[in-house]
């Protein structure tokens, strides 16, 4: 077996194992999930490359070359990963994800349909190599798209590094940016400069450059706890496991999120509350007035009325805090509430029981007094007799 294809397949397995290693660090975190998807696709492309290089016949090599046409999704997944990693607000808009993946899908389809992945019938010393038949419009469009996407990725990373206040977080962003720079520079130099400009045919260098990037990400994991426990994961875990109900409202009093305890307390599924007006739950004037107060100062443990899904009234103990952006601008409210209806019912039941006991006690005392009076009357009659 040739040396370079052997290096490619070993590198592909290392990339795949590293992807699962990072995913296992924190499987619930979305950034770890996207990281696994990114590294799995890279490993798959490395496997396709290995099969192309080691194919015995041109027809077989051509099939694997067509599968390598899915490489634009590597750029889209890389951009997706960076947006998730920096927790970019734009990621909440579906059109951003569409802008990432629709061009990748289109270029993949057009690449296969236009024979961009044709393989030269002449074998190189390392195996069957890709040969682009012409420099048409599609070639320029794909190259321009890839370069623009890479520039956007670096812009987002650099901006996040500049505004990050935590030193450890800045280090994490730095090493992720460095890994992306090494991979992107290597691919751009290899595919654009050497092949497109100088027509220098050489082995695909994407896997080796990806392996170099892994070294820096691995260092960031060991040194700065990258992908292990993030502030977002910690906050999400606290919200998910807390016993009190929690609602997050935007500045228009629309429910943006609810924790499982809060949704269950109100008789809803978690996804049923998102996008609904807070007045669906807090219909009373007192509750709405307290929410307004919460924009200026924290509100603690105020008893208000709430309605569940069946429109049953519940009495809850409500605490309110405002949400502010990095510049201090108002963005919404955090509402934490505890159902005290059962407690109130219990107190009423206890009061009722106490009243019954008190009546019984009075009855027993009255009966005892009657018995004493009766005994005294009997004694008095006996003396007279």
73 and 104 Cβ atoms separated by less than 8 Å: yes
What is the model's pLDDT at position 193? Answer: 64
Classify 256 as helix, strand or coil.
strand
Architecture of domain 3-233: Up-down Bundle (1.20)
Q: What is the pTM of this model?
A: 0.62
Residue 219, judged by CB atoms within 10 A of its CB (0-12, 13-18, 19+), counts as middle
Most confident range (mean pLDDT) of 100-104, 197-201, 253-257 is 100-104
Which two structure tokens, joined as six digits, stand for 206? 């994407």
pLDDT for the residue 135: 55
What is the pLDDT at residue 178?
Answer: 93
- Are the CB atoms for 71 and 44 separated by under 8 Å? no
pLDDT at residue 191, rounded to an integer:
66
pLDDT tens, position by position, 263-307: 888 888 877 888 888 888 888 778 778 877 777 677 777 888 888
Task: State yes or no: pLDDT of 239 exceeds 70.
Answer: yes
Residue 122 clears pLDDT 60, i.e. is over it: no
- Span 43-72, average pLDDT: 87
Residues 131-149: what's their mean pLDDT? 74
CB atoms within 10 A of CB 82: 25
Give the C-alpha separation, 50 to 7, whole Å: 9
pLDDT at residue 124, rounded to an integer: 72
Question: What pLDDT is recorded for position 359?
Answer: 66
- In this structure, which long-range contacts are made by residues 265-273, counting pairs with CB atoms below 8 Å and at least 24 apart in sequence? 265/308, 265/314, 265/337, 265/339, 266/306, 266/307, 266/308, 266/309, 266/314, 267/308, 267/309, 267/310, 267/312, 268/308, 268/309, 272/309, 273/247
Supply the pLDDT for residue 366.
61
Domain boundaries, the chain: 3-233, 243-339, 353-385
Average of per-residue pLDDT values in the chain: 81
Q: To 10 degrees, what angle do helices 206-224 and 3-25 make?
A: 30
pLDDT of 223: 87
| pLDDT tens digit sequence for 188-235 | 777 666 665 666 677 878 888 889 999 999 999 888 888 876 655 566
- Please give the average per-residue pLDDT across 354-363, as a whole number: 64
Give the fold, CATH level 3, of 243-339: Beta-Lactamase (3.30.450)
267-271, 317-321, 350-354: range with lowest mean pLDDT: 350-354
Beta strands in 183-298 (DSSP E): 245-250, 255-258
Report the share of the chain in percent with pLDDT over 70. 78
């Amino acid at each position: 077996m040739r040396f370079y294809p052997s290096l490619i397949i070993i590198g592909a397995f290392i990339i795949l194992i590293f992807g699962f290693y990072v995913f296992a660090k924190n499987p619930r975190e979305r950034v770890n999930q996207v990281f696994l998807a990114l590294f799995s696709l890279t490993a798959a492309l490395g496997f396709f490359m290995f099969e192309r290089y080691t194919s015995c016949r041109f027809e077989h090599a051509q099939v694997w070359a067509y599968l390598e046409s899915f490489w634009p999704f590597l750029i889209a997944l890389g951009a997706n990963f960076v947006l998730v990693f920096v927790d970019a607000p734009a990621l909440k808009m579906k059109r951003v994800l569409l802008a990432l993946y629709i061009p990748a899908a289109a270029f993949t389809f057009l690449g296969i349909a236009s024979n961009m992945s044709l393989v030269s019938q002449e074998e190189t010393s390392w195996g069957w190599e890709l040969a682009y038949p012409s420099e048409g419009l599609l070639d320029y469009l794909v190259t321009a798209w890839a370069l623009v996407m890479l520039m956007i990725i670096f812009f987002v990373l650099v901006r996040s590094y500049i505004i990050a206040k935590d030193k450890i977080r800045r280090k994490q962003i730095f090493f992720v940016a460095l890994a992306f720079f090494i991979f992107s520079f290597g691919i751009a130099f290899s595919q654009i400069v050497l092949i497109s400009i100088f027509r220098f045919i050489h082995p695909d260098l994407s896997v080796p450059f990806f392996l170099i990037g892994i070294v820096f990400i691995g260092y960031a994991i060991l040194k700065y706890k990258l992908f292990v426990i993030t502030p977002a994961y910690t906050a999400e875990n606290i919200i998910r496991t807390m016993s009190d109900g929690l609602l997050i409202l935007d500045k228009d009093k629309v429910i943006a999120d609810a924790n499982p305890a809060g949704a269950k307390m109100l008789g809803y599924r978690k996804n049923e509350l998102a996008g609904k007006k807070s007045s669906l739950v807090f219909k009373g004037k007192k509750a709405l007035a307290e929410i307004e107060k919460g924009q200026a100062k924290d509100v603690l443990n105020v008893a208000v009325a709430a309605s569940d899904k069946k429109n049953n009234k519940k009495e809850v103990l409500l605490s309110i805090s405002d949400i502010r952006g990095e510049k201090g601008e108002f963005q919404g409210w955090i509402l934490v509430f505890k159902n005290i209806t059962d407690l109130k019912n219990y107190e009423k039941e206890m009061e009722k029981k106490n009243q019954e006991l008190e009546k019984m006690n009075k009855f027993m005392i009255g009966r005892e007094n009657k018995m004493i009076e009766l005994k005294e009357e009997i004694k008095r009659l006996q003396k007279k007799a």
